[in-house]
A and B are shown apart, each in its own frame.
Chain A
Amino acid sequence: MSEEILKVENLKTYFFTASGVAKAVDGVSYTLKKGEILGIVGESGSGKSVSASSVIRLLPKTGRVVDGTILFEGKDMRKISDKELRKIRGSDISVIFQDPMTSLDPVFKVGSQMVELIRTHNKVSKEEARKIAVENLALVGIPDPERRMNAYPHELSGGMCQRVMIAMAISCHPKFMIADEPTTALDVTVQAQVLGLLKELQEKTDTAIMLITHNLGIVWKMCDTVMVMYAGKTVEFADMKELYKNPLHPYTWGLLDSIPKLSDTEKAELKAIPGTPPDLRLTGKCCNFYNRCPYATDICREQVPELVEVAPGHKVACHHQNGVETLVRGKEAASDE
Chain B
Amino acid sequence: MVKTILRRLLQMIPVLFVVVTLTFILTRMIPGNPATAVLGPQATTEDIAKMEEKMGLNKSKIEQYGMYWNDILHGDFGTSYAYGTPVLDLLGQRIPNTLVLSLTSLVLALLIGIPIGVYSAVHQNTAFDYIFMFLALLGISVPIFWFALMMVLVFAVNLGWFPAMGIGDWSNGFWGYVQYMVLPVICLTLHPMATFARISRSSTLETINTDYIKAMRSKGLSEPKLLWKHAFKNALPPIITVVGMQLAYCVTGAMLTETIFSWPGMGMLIVKAVTNRDYSLIQGTVVIVALVFIVVNLLVDLAYMLVNPKVSYEGGGKN
Contacts and interface: CB of A to CB of B under 8 A. Distances in A.
Interface of A: 56, 58, 86-91, 94-95, 97, 99, 102-109, 113, 116-117, 120-121, 152, 154-155, 165, 168
23 contacts: A58-B214, A58-B218, A86-B221, A89-B220, A90-B219, A95-B219, A99-B211, A102-B210, A103-B212, A103-B215, A104-B212, A106-B310, A107-B233, A113-B216, A116-B221, A117-B219, A117-B220, A120-B219, A120-B220, A120-B221, A121-B220, A154-B310, A154-B317
B128 to A, nearest CB: 16
B220 A87 contact: yes
Interface residues of B, number: 21
Nearest to A104: B212
Interface of B: 210-212, 214-222, 230, 233-234, 307-310, 317, 319
Given A152-B309, A154-B310, A155-B317, A106 B212 contact: yes
A95 B319 CA distance: 29
Given A105-B230, A106-B310, A108-B230, A58 B212 contact: no
A156 to B, nearest CB: 10
Contacts of B230: 105, 108
Given A89-B218, A90-B220, 17 more contacts: A58-B214, A58-B218, A86-B221, A87-B220, A88-B220, A91-B220, A97-B211, A103-B214, A105-B212, A106-B212, A106-B310, A107-B307, A107-B308, A107-B309, A116-B221, A121-B220, A154-B310
Contacts of B310: 106, 152, 154
A95 B215 CA distance: 8
B234 A107 contact: yes
Contacts of A117: 219-221
A120 B225 CA distance: 11
Contacts of B317: 154-155
Contacts of A58: 214, 217-218
Contact of A86 (B212, B215, B220, B309): B220
Contacts of A102: 210-212
Contacts of A121: 220
Given A97-B211, A152-B309, A105 B216 contact: yes
Contacts of B211: 97, 99, 102-103
Contacts of B212: 102-106
A99 B317 CA distance: 22
Interface centre among A106, A120, A154 (most CB of B within 10 A): A106
A114 to B, nearest CB: 10
Contacts of A152: 309-310
B220 A106 contact: no
Contacts of B220: 86-91, 117, 120-121
B206 to A, nearest CB: 13
A72 to B, nearest CB: 14
B218 A105 contact: no
Nearest to A153: B212
A105 B234 contact: yes
B233 A90 contact: no
B307 A104 contact: no
Contacts of A97: 211, 214-215, 218
B221 to A, nearest CB: 6
A113 B220 CA distance: 13
